[in-house]
Amino acid sequence: MLRTHNCGELRLENQGERVILCGWLHRSRILGGMTFIDIRDRYGVTQLAFDEQKNADLCMKVRSLGREFVLQAEGIVRERSSKNIKLVTGDIEIEVTDIKILNHSKTPPFTIEDNTDGGDELRMRYRYLDLRRNVLKTNLELRHRLSFLIRNYMNENGFMEIETPFLVKSTPEGARDFVVPSRMNANQFYALPQSPQTFKQLLMVAGYDRYFQLVRCFRDEDLRADRQPEFTQLDCEMSFVEQEDVLQMFEGLMKYLFEKEKGLSFGDFQRITWENAMKYYGSDKPDIRFDMKFVELDCEVKGFGFKIFDDAELIVGICAANCADYSRKQIDELTEFVKRPQVGGNGLIYIRYGEDGIKSSIDKFFNAEQLKAIAQKFNAKTGDLMLIMAGNKAKTRTALSCLRLELGSRLGLRCGNAFAPLWVTDFPLLEWDEETARYYAMHHPFTAPKPEDYSKLFTHPAEVRANAYDLVVNGVELGGGSIRIHNREMQNDMFKALGFSEEEAKTQFGFLLDAFEYGAPPHGGIAFGFDRICSVFSGAESIRDFIAFPKNNNGRDIMLDAPANISSVQLEELNIKLK
C-alpha cells in the first residue's frame, strides 16, 4: 500500500504516529515561514504542514506544487495550534518529513469546491473532476447505500436478482426505442429495453416467483430534469399475489429505506384512487406534503351571467390560507404564471376574504351574499385567498395543479426534508389519444383490468379501471406497477381493445401469448425509478447528479462527445447508407 491512512481518518489519538497519506492537492497557503497544504481524497481532507526553518528544501519544493497534483506525504501526526472545527481531521496536522509527486496535474478548468466556479457544460466535459467535489460524492455514496439496502431487503424477502438482455426487440407501445443495427442480420435491428417487462413476466411463467433487478432501461424521449435516456430501475415481479400483497411488500421496502437511511418511521402510507387524485389535486402524482385540495364549484357559480363560468366544463379552485393580503402585483404574477404555455390556463379569478369583507375579480357578477356562499364551499376563513379557474376539465385541472404546486413552493410548504408517500390506485386501463384516434394502455398492455370492469372492455373502454398503482413521494412518481394479465384470451382481448389485429399481436408479442399457454401463474409487480429514489431522498429535483456519467439535455455525453459518426467501414458492415 502506498498509504498507511486515508485523508479523513486521523484524529488527536493518532498524535505522534508516523503516517503516509496519498491524495490530491486541494489548497495550499503560505503563512510566514509555514506552508500548509490540504490534501484530499474520497474520505476527507487533512492538513500537511511544512516548516521553512526545519526543512527549507522541502518547503521550496511544495511551494511549486499546483492544484490537483497527486501527492504522497510522509510525516508525524501532531496537534494543530489553530484547530478547524469544520473538519473532522481539524484537530491535527501532519508535520511532513518527505513528499513525493505521484503525478502532475494541469490546472483544473474549475475549482474543486462545494461552490465551484464551473458552468454546467464545463463540468459535464470534465465529469471526472466534477466527481471529485463533495456534492457529487455525497450523492453517489447515497446511491451506493440505497442500492445496498435494496438488495438486502429483496434478498431477505426471498427475491432473486436475475439479469435480462439488453439487445431485445422493438415494440410499438410505450416510449420511443433506441435501436441497434445488427451486423449479422442485414437490415434488422435490436432495440434496447425500455424495461424488462416481458422478461420478468416470462420469469414468472418459468417459476421464479420473486424476481428483482437493479437494471438499466433506455427510452428515447425528450429530456427533462427528472429524465435521462438511460436510467436505472428497481424492477420487481411476484407470483401468486394480489394487488394488496404487492403494495404491502413494497411499502415495506420504502419504510425500510426511510428508516435505515433517514431514521424516519411511517405508519400506513396514504392511498387515493386515480379518480380522486385528479378531482382533488388535478394530478396523478399529488404532492401531499400540504393540503390545499381542489374545490369544484359548478352548481354554486353557473347561471349568473358570467360567461366564463357558464361556458366552462369545470370550475374549480383552491384556497390559499392567510394569503388575502396578496397584492395586486402578486395576483397578477400568479395570473401570468397560469397563462404560461407549459401551464395552459386561460386566466385566474380571485376572491379575497379580507378583514374588511369579501372582494373579488368577479364583483360585477356576484353579490356579497353569493361570494360568501362560494367562500363557504371553500371552508375559507378571514385572511384566506381563493383562486379559481374555469374551462376544459382536463386542462383546467392540470393548470390548477401547477398553480397549487407553485403556491405550495412560495408558501414554503414543500421543503425537502419532509416526506409524504402516497399510493395512487385504480388507474384507468386505457387512455384515448386524439392524434392517432385510438386507445393506448395507460400503464402497459399487460396490465389486468379490474375483474368487475372487464365486461366493459369493448362497450365502455374508457370506464375500465386497472389493477394498477403508483407510489408517489412529494409529488414525484417513484414507482408504478400492476397486476398482470396471465391468460391468453384476456391478453388477446386487450390487444384487440388497443386496435391490434390478431396478426399484429402475434408478430409483436407472440412469445408472450405462447408462454401464457404453458401454465402462467397469476402475477404482478412494480418498478421504481432508482435515480429518482436517490434524488427524492436527498431533496433534489434533478436526477442527473445521482448518475456518475449522465447525458445532457440533448441526450449527449459531452465528455465522450457521443453520439458520434461511425466509419464508412462500420456503416458498410451494418448495411447502412447515410443520406
Contacting residues toward ligand ASP, per CB under 6 A: 195, 197, 480-482, 525-527
* Shortest CB 268 distance to ligand ASP, Å: 22
* Shortest CB 476 distance to ligand ASP, Å: 14
Instruction: Please state, as a whole number, how many other Cβ atoms lie within 10 Å of the Cβ of residue 361.
Output: 15
Q: Are strands 179-181 and 189-191 parallel, antiparallel or unpaired?
A: antiparallel
3-state secondary structure labels for all residues of 39-91 = EEECCEEEEEEEECCCCHHHHHHHHCCCCCCEEEEEEEEEECCCCCCCCCCCC
3-state secondary structure labels for all residues of 207-271 = CCCEEEEEEEEECCCCCCCCCCCEEEEEEEEEECCCHHHHHHHHHHHHHHHHHHHHCCCCCCCEE
* Shortest CB 71 distance to ligand ASP, Å: 47
Return the C-alpha torsion angle 97, 100, 104, 105, nearest 10. Answer: -40
* Shortest CB 197 distance to ligand ASP, Å: 4
Helix or strand holding residue 531 (H, E): helix 530-537
Which of residues 282 and 480 has its CB atom nearest to ligand ASP in the complex?
480
DSSP secondary structure letters along 102-167 = EE--PPPSS--SSS-S--HHHHHHTHHHHTTSHHHHHHHHHHHHHHHHHHHHHHHTT-EE----SS
Which of residues 139 and 194 has its CB atom nearest to ligand ASP in the complex?
194
Which of residues 89 and 482 has its CB atom nearest to ligand ASP in the complex?
482
Which of residues 181 and 522 has its CB atom nearest to ligand ASP in the complex?
522
* Shortest CB 542 distance to ligand ASP, Å: 20
Tell me the C-alpha distance between 23 and 276, whole Å.
Answer: 56
* Shortest CB 469 distance to ligand ASP, Å: 9
* Shortest CB 195 distance to ligand ASP, Å: 3
Return the C-alpha torsion angle 356, 362, 368, 374, nearest 10. Answer: -100
Q: Are strands 476-483 and 468-473 parallel, antiparallel or unpaired?
A: antiparallel
Which of residues 475 and 481 has its CB atom nearest to ligand ASP in the complex?
481
Tell me the C-alpha distance between 421 and 145, whole Å.
Answer: 20
Which of residues 39 and 466 has its CB atom nearest to ligand ASP in the complex?
466
Sign of CA dihedral 241, 243, 248, 254: positive
* Shortest CB 154 distance to ligand ASP, Å: 14
* Shortest CB 257 distance to ligand ASP, Å: 18
Which of residues 277 and 526 has its CB atom nearest to ligand ASP in the complex?
526
CA angle 159, 164, 168 (to 5 degrees): 150
Which of residues 215 and 351 has its CB atom nearest to ligand ASP in the complex?
215
Which of residues 246 and 558 has its CB atom nearest to ligand ASP in the complex?
246
Q: How far from chain centre, in Å, is Cα 319?
A: 29
